[in-house]
């Protein structure tokens, strides 16, 4: 079931827009938990794969298996990433930058995700 989106969320998630660098709520967010799709709530990324890339957007060097699809971008130079479940635009993936051992950076719009914190038992809770 898809969540109702506001105008800016639709611009990014449905129209493949982007938020300005260093403005997203999760850019400098490093709490334990997971990030789920804003539109359909499918789990996308674990906080253990988030890293500081100094690019202005949240960065991850891995996704939850099967959660993210790669699509050639319209400009033929980049690779778009979308939610595998609902096809919501997340951002772009880059290889060859050597920022982590995995040599992979998922550059994701904060507005495309919702963070769920993890408790000591490994249960997830949406932030209030």
**Active centre residues (catalytic):** 107
CA distance 128 to 116: 10
CB 106 within 8 A of CB 96: no
């Amino acid at each position: 079931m898809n969540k109702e989106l506001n105008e800016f969320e639709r611009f990014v998630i449905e129209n493949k827009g982007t938020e300005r660098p260093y403005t997203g709520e999760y850019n400098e967010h490093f709490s334990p938990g997971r990030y789920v799709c804003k539109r359909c709530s499918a789990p996308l990324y674990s906080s253990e794969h988030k890293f500081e890339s100094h690019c202005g957007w949240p960065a991850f060097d891995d996704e939850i298996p099967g959660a993210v699809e790669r699509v050639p971008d319209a400009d033929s130079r980049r690779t778009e990433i979308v939610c595998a479940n609902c096809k919501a635009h997340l951002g772009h993936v880059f290889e060859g930058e050597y920022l982590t051992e995995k040599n992979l950076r998922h550059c994701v719009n904060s507005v495309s995700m919702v963070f769920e914190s993890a408790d000591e038992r490994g249960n997830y809770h949406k932030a209030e």
